[in-house]
Structure 1
Amino acid sequence: MSTDRMTQLYNETCLLPSSKLHSAVEAVERNPLLSHWTGHYLSRPLFVEERQIRGFADDVVRMVGLLTSLPERLFDGDLDRFCAALGIDDRRAALMRRLGPPPHNGRADMYHDGTSFKLLEFGIASEVGGWDRAGEIPRAFLEADAFRAFAEEHGLGYTHPAKAVADSLRQVGATVRPDGEPVVVLLEGPGGLVDYGTTWRTFESVMRGFGLDFHVAEVGDVQERDGKLYLGSLPIDVVYRCFETNQIVDEPDGPALVEPLFRAHEAGGTVLWTPMSSNLFNDKGCMALLSDPRYRHRFTTEEQAVIDRVLPWTRGLGGVGVTVDEELIGHCRERREQLILKPSGYFGGKGTIPGWECSDENWTNALREAASSGCIVQERVVPRTEPMVVNPSIREIQPWQAVWGLFYTPDGYAGTYGRALPTENNGVIGISSNKGTRTAGVFHYSSDS
C-alpha cells in the first residue's frame, strides 16, 4: 500500500500485540504548544528518505531562483509587463512593487506520486503557516517512549522550520540592532487575529522558545516615528508580515495603513520580513510562465531539466486584461479528467476545482468563469497511498493521501510537514478547504537505516 519502507516498518511494529506506537500521538495532542490549535493531528508521522527530500529541496530552491528571475528573463525587467501577463490589477501591483525583490523564504507544497515529489504550488511569503507545528509535532512524538525507541532503532531525525526562520530573523535583525537580540513583531491584517490568532499565538510561543523577543499584533496597532516602527512604546526591529495583499486592498484605507511599514523599511529603522513583493511571485501564474513552451528558450538546458523534473504541466488561463486562449480552453475541455483548476491569487485550496469531479458541462463553465478572473490549469498528480493503522486490535489499515509542505529560508532547506485525508475524500487536502484534514510531522531517515 506504500512505496515507503519506513512506513511499512512503522505499521508492522504498530500492529504487534505488545506495541504502544498507536498511542504515541497522545503526546502530540497534550503538548502545551500544540494542544490549543483548533485543527487535528494525524495518528502517525510521515516518513521520507533524507537524501530524497534534500534532493528535492535543492530543486525547489533552484526553482525559487528561476521564479524571482522571471521579470528579467521574460520581460526585460519591466514589472508593468510582468504584472499584465499575470493579470494583476493596478492596486495590487502597486502594493507588491513598493519595495524590492523578496528573500527566498516560504513553503512549497507537493505530492509524492510513488516515484518522486512533484510541485503543486510555491509559497514565497512569510504568511504561509505550519512553521511551528512542522517542528513541534516530531519533537512531541519523541516524548513518547514507544516512538522514541522506534526512532532510535531506525535513525529517524527531523528539521525544525521555526528554528530556521528564527535564525533568519536574527540575521536580518542584526542589520538594525547589531549589539543584541532583535525585537520581532508578527503583524496580521485588520481583524486577522480573530481568525488566525490561535495559530500565531502558538507560533509566538515557539519563537520565544528559540530565544526571540517575539510579539503578535495587527498592522493597525503599530506607528512609525523617525523611520522606525513602534508597538506602543516598544521599538520594533523586524516586522514578520502575516497579512497578504488582498487583506490590504480590501480595506478602504489599506495602502495608507501599510505605508508606515514601507517607510520604516526604506529608512532602515525596521526590516519588513517579507516585503509584499513576495506576493507578486506567489501568484500561481508564475508557475505557468515557467512551464510555458513559448519561454523555454529563456532557460538553460540544466534549468529546463529542473523545471521538467519538478513541475507538472501548467498553463495560465485568462486574467484581468488578458485575452482568453480559445485553443487552450478546448484542450482543457478534452483533458478534463487529468486537470485541476486553481485561481491564481488564492491559497489554501480556495476556489480549486478538480476536473475529474466535474461533469463536462460544469467543467466548461468553470473554465470560462475562472478565465475571467485569472487561473492556472495544472496536470493532475495522483499522490501515493499513505496507509494508516486506525484500529490495531483488529489490524485495520486505512488508505490516506498526503500533501507535503517543504519549508525554505535564504539558507536553504528548513524542514517539512504534511496534511492528510482518507483517500475516500478524494478532494483538496487543506486545512481551510476540508475540515477533516489532519496535520502530520515528518521524520527523515538514511537509506542505510
Structure 2
Amino acid sequence: MAANPTTRAYLAGNPPAESLALQCALDESLRSALGEGYLTRPAFLDGTVAEDLGDRLSRLYDILLSLPARLYDGDIRALAAAVGWSPLQIETVLRPDGTPRRVPRMARSDLYQEADGFKLLELNVGSPLGGFDTQLMNHAMLRHPHVAEFVAREGLDHIDTLQLLVEMWHEEFPEVDFDARPVVALVDWPDSFPTLEPRLKVMADMLDAHGIEAIPCHAGQVEDRPDGLYVHGRRIDLVHRWFVIEDLLGGDDTELAAPVLRAAEEGRVHLFAPLEVELYGSKGCLALLSDEANRQHFDAAELALVESFLPWTRMLREGKVDAPDGERVNLLDHVLAHREELVIKATASHGGLDVLAGWRTPADEWRAKAEQALGGPYIVQRRVRPMTEDFPVGDGSGRTEPVVLNWGVFLAGHGYGGSFIRGIADPEAGVVSLANGARFTTSFHTQA
C-alpha cells in the first residue's frame, strides 16, 4: 500500500467522498471534458518527488531525442523504420534527407508506483495529450470546504498545465503576437472529432481566459490558401495538432493531413507539435533504451536512469535477448513461457488500445497473438505490479478500497508539469484506462 504522510493525514480527517466526486461530476466544464467518473479524493505527491520525476523525465527525453544520432548516424527515418512506422508514415512526416526537426519538450508519462519507485510504461509526447484541463478538477475540489481547508493547512499547491502550454507557445513561436488575440486551431481527425469535440470546446473556453481565440475543428475543415490556413473563414496563426500518427493509414489520410503539414513546412502557419515528435513517444523507442544490445551507446548515469525507471521492454522480434533475470533466451519462447509476467503492446497506440495483458489472457490466445505480432510493430514488456492507494468507497460507510493509479505526470520544458491521474479498483487490471472503467482525479503536492 502506497501512502505518503499527506495522504495519511487526509484519510485520517474523515474526508468527504461521494460529495467530492459529485462536486466534479456536476461541474459543467468537467462533465463536458471528462464525463462523470471521478475518484473520491485527490492524490497527493511530495514536492521533492514531483521535482525528481520531472528531472528524470527530462533526462529520459534528452536520451530519446538523441537516438537518431546515437543509433542511426543521425537518420531519423532509420529510427522510424526500426520502431514500426510504415513507409507511408515515414514519407509523409519525415524529411527526405533524414535530418530531425526541432521538437518541443511537452510530454505526459504513464507512471505506476511499484515498491521500489515509479516505473514508466509509456511516454506520450507533443500536442495530443489528455490532461491540459486537469486544473478544472483542482478548482472543483477546492470548492469543497474540507479540501480547501486541508490544502491551506498543509501548504499544498498544484500546477496549471494549460498555463505551461501557453507559456511554451510563447517561447516556441515568438513571431506570434499573443497580445493581439491570436487564432489557434485545435485540429483533430474527422473520425475522432465527434467524440473529442466537447473536450476541445472546453479547452477553447479555457484558452479564452489567456487571450487566445481557439477553434475546435478537424483536418477536413481546414482550408489551404496562398496566405495560410483558414478554418470557418478565420485565418489561423497556430495549429495545435490533435490528430496522431496512427491516423495516417493510407493515401487518403496523407492528403487530408497535407494542408497542415505543408503550410507548417512552408512557414505559412505555426504548428504545435510536428507529427515527427510522436516518433519519440513510440513504445519501440523505450524498447531500444531497454535493449542490452544498445548499452554501449549510453553512459553509466543514463543506463542507471533507464534501468531504474523502465521495466524490461523489447521489440517482439525473432532471436535471442537477455531476459529480466539476465539469462540469454529465445524471445518468443520466453514470451510463451512467462505469459503471467508479460504484456504485449502496439508500438503506436493510445488510451490503452492494442494492449494484451498475459495474466488476463488464456494461454492459447496468448500464443496465437504473440506469434501473430512477432516481427510487427509490437513490444513485449515486463508486468509492473503497482502498489495501491486507499480511496473512500463513497457509499457513506466510511470504508476505503485499494485503487491502482496511473500517474499521468507531465514534462513541461525541463521539469514537472502537473499530473493527470486515472485510477481503477482492480489491482489485476492490465491497463488503467477509460475502457477498463477508470475514473479521474487530480493531485496536490507539498512544497519541495
Name the structure 2 match of 1:412.
415
Structure 1: distance between partners of 2:160 and 2:445? 12
Matches within 5 A, 1:56-205: 56-98=53-95, 100-132=101-133, 134-177=134-177, 180-205=180-205
Matches within 5 A, 1:43-442: 43-98=40-95, 100-132=101-133, 134-177=134-177, 180-250=180-250, 252-318=251-317, 327-391=330-394, 393-410=396-413, 412-423=415-426, 426-431=429-434, 433-434=435-436, 436-442=437-443
Instruction: Report deviation, 1:391.
Output: 4.4
**Identity in percent:** 29
Q: Letter of the aligned partner of 1:89 in structure 2?
A: S
Deviations 1:268-289 (A, max 9, x none): 2311111110222222100000
Structure 1: distance between partners of 2:143 and 2:63? 41
Deviates more, 1:159-168 or 1:257-266: 257-266
SS at match of 1:186: strand
Instruction: Report deviation, 1:227.
Output: 4.7
The answer (yes or no) to whether the contact 1:189–1:248 under 8 Å persists in 2 is no
The answer (yes or no) to whether the contact 1:387–1:398 under 8 Å persists in 2 is yes
Q: 1:20 to 1:121 in 2, by over 3 A?
A: closer
Instruction: Report deviation, 1:10.
Output: 1.5
SS at match of 2:124: coil
Q: Letter of the aligned partner of 1:294 in structure 2?
A: A
The answer (yes or no) to whether the contact 1:166–1:212 under 8 Å persists in 2 is no
The answer (yes or no) to whether the contact 1:404–1:417 under 8 Å persists in 2 is yes
SS at match of 1:40: coil
Q: 1:29 to 1:80 in 2, by over 3 A?
A: closer
Q: 1:254 to 1:393 in 2, by over 3 A?
A: closer
Instruction: Report deviation, 1:183.
Output: 1.6
Structure 2: distance between partners of 1:72 and 1:424? 40
Structure 2: distance between partners of 1:140 and 1:178? 29
Instruction: Report deviation, 1:158.
Output: 0.7
1:38 and 2:44 are equivalent in the alignment:
no
Structure 2: distance between partners of 1:41 and 1:140? 11
The answer (yes or no) to whether the contact 2:54–2:414 under 8 Å persists in 1 is no
Instruction: Report deviation, 1:13.
Output: 0.9
Structure 2: distance between partners of 1:81 and 1:39? 44
Q: 1:202 to 1:30 in 2, by over 3 A?
A: same
Q: 1:280 to 1:45 in 2, by over 3 A?
A: same
Structure 2: distance between partners of 1:345 and 1:148? 40
Structure 2: distance between partners of 1:10 and 1:115? 24
Instruction: Report deviation, 1:111.
Output: 0.3
The answer (yes or no) to whether the contact 1:173–1:182 under 8 Å persists in 2 is no
* TM-score of the two chains, using structure 1 as the length reference: 0.91
The RMSD of aligned alpha carbons is 2.1
The answer (yes or no) to whether the contact 1:136–1:160 under 8 Å persists in 2 is no
Instruction: Report deviation, 1:367.
Output: 1.3
* TM-score of the two chains, using structure 2 as the length reference: 0.91
Instruction: Report deviation, 1:180.
Output: 3.2
Instruction: Report deviation, 1:170.
Output: 2.9
Deviates more, 1:399-408 or 1:416-425: 416-425
SS at match of 2:330: helix
The answer (yes or no) to whether the contact 2:184–2:214 under 8 Å persists in 1 is yes
The answer (yes or no) to whether the contact 1:338–1:356 under 8 Å persists in 2 is yes
Among 19, 23, 30, the residue aligned to 1:27? 23
The answer (yes or no) to whether the contact 2:220–2:256 under 8 Å persists in 1 is yes
Instruction: Report deviation, 1:209.
Output: 2.7
Matches within 5 A, 1:10-25: 10-14=10-14, 20=16, 23-25=19-21
Gaps of 5+ in 2: 321-328
Instruction: Report deviation, 1:22.
Output: 5.3
Structure 1: distance between partners of 2:222 and 2:394? 51
Structure 2: distance between partners of 1:198 and 1:20? 29
SS at match of 1:414: strand
Deviations 1:299-327 (A, max 9, x none): 11111111112111111113xxxx56681
The answer (yes or no) to whether the contact 2:356–2:430 under 8 Å persists in 1 is no
Gaps of 5+ in 1: none
Q: Letter of the aligned partner of 1:119 in structure 2?
A: L
Q: 1:359 to 1:231 in 2, by over 3 A?
A: closer
SS at match of 1:261: helix
Structure 1: distance between partners of 2:75 and 2:26? 52
Instruction: Report deviation, 1:179.
Output: 6.1
Deviates more, 1:262-271 or 1:301-310: 262-271
Q: 1:410 to 1:95 in 2, by over 3 A?
A: farther
Q: Letter of the aligned partner of 1:395 in structure 2?
A: G
Deviations 1:44-102 (A, max 9, x none): 11111111122011111111111121111001012342223213220011223148242
Structure 2: distance between partners of 1:412 and 1:185? 27
